Amino acid sequence: MQDDDKRLAAEAAVAEVRDGMLVGLGTGSTVRFAIEALGRRAAAGLGIMAVATSIDSAAKAAAVGIAVRNFADVARVDLTIDGADEIDHRLAAIKGAGGAMLREKIVAAASTRMVVIADASKRVAAIGAAKLPVEVLPFARSFVTARLTALGAAVTDRDGTTDNGNIVLDARFASLPDARALAATLDATPGVLGHGLFLTEVDAAYIADDGVVTRLERGGASG
Ligand code: 5RP
């Protein structure tokens, strides 16, 4: 059921893709459905190329026949399709449960349009209950942990490293009254390379709830 909704949201976003586009591919189980849908459209003749926000998504895209470019050679992306862990009606999102938030934010920033795809479990009145992933230079682990703790977070170290060779600290806040201030503080903390607060990047969201897809647009329109 949840997978059906992920697939429906993904297919709705993939319908936005036009011939000749360079498409940004996010990361995660919902994006997997988008990659599969895009692969079907590419096999049917749609001429697109993609950049990926993770090694995993690049491999999945290549496996379905999508030509994947190295993002290091790319400055602009037409449309990026990505998942989220939480998204609210203002299109503020928390991302990064899959650990790809640094590359995801870079690709989102390079994109003319960035759309989130999600099942209804991700839709919240206001972001903040999900743990906030923070990508950290390993050298700065203890320093950043102390800074996050001082900001009121309960911090856990995630096992393993990101595609960039860094670590992830998951910061859980009892509440998130001022996400913009927190994002600014994190952006200004040496050793923090990225975090999962996406407050301005998302242009639209396709959210599927029990088979019905709703599109939310930044600025208010929906359909
Ligand atoms: C990875 C992400 C994912 O897009 C987010 O965690 C949602 O994943 P899923 O679709 O598997 O629930 O931000 O860094």
Residue 84 domain-assigned (yes or no)? yes
Give residue 89 CA to ligand 1 midpoint distance, Å. 18
What pLDDT was estimated at residue 223? 65
- 116, 205 in Cβ contact below 8 A? yes
DSSP string, 130-168: S-EEEEE-GGGHHHHHHHHHHTTEEEEEPSS--TTS-EE
- Separation CA 197–CA 134 (nearest Å): 9
* Residue 101 belongs to domain with CATH number: 3.40.50.1360
User: For a substitution probing ligand 1, which of 95, 117, 135 has the most ligand atoms within 8 Å of its CB?
Assistant: 95
- Looking at the CA of residue 28, tell me the nearest atom of ligand 1: 11
Beta pairing class for 153-157 and 167-173: antiparallel
Q: Are residues 110 and 140 part of one domain?
A: no
CA diameter of the chain: 54
Residue 219 domain-assigned (yes or no)? no
For the purposes of burial, counting CB atoms within 10 Å of the CB of 49, is it exposed (0-12), middle (13-18) or buried (19 or more)? middle
Give residue 20 CA to ligand 1 midpoint distance, Å. 26
Show pLDDT as tens, one digit a residue, over the chain (223 residues). Answer: 899 999 999 999 999 999 999 999 999 999 999 999 999 999 999 999 999 999 999 999 999 999 999 999 999 999 999 999 999 999 999 999 999 999 999 999 999 999 999 999 999 999 999 999 999 999 999 999 999 999 999 999 999 999 999 999 999 999 998 999 999 999 999 999 999 999 999 999 999 999 999 999 998 766 6
Which residue is associated with the tokens 């998951």?
170
What pLDDT was estimated at residue 220? 79
- 116, 84 in Cβ contact below 8 A? yes
List the structure tokens of 126.
Answer: 């206001």
* Residue 147 belongs to domain with CATH number: 3.30.70.260
Clarify whether 104 is annotated catalytic: yes
Q: Are residues 47 and 14 part of one domain?
A: yes
Give residue 73 CA to ligand 1 midpoint distance, Å. 25
Q: Which residues line ligand 1 (CB under 6 A)?
A: 26-30, 82-85, 95-101, 104
From the candidates 11, 16, 36, 104, which is the catalytic residue? 104
What pLDDT was estimated at residue 12? 98
- 8, 211 in Cβ contact below 8 A? yes
- Separation CA 100–CA 72 (nearest Å): 16
The residue whose C-alpha atom lies closest to atom 2 belonging to ligand 1 is 96
What is the DSSP-derived secondary structure letter of residue 122? G
Tally the domains of the chain. Answer: 2
What pLDDT was estimated at residue 28? 98
Give residue 177 CA to ligand 1 midpoint distance, Å. 23
Q: Are residues 161 and 72 part of one domain?
A: no
User: For a substitution probing ligand 1, which of 6, 27, 124 has the most ligand atoms within 8 Å of its CB?
Assistant: 27
Q: Are residues 164 and 145 part of one domain?
A: yes
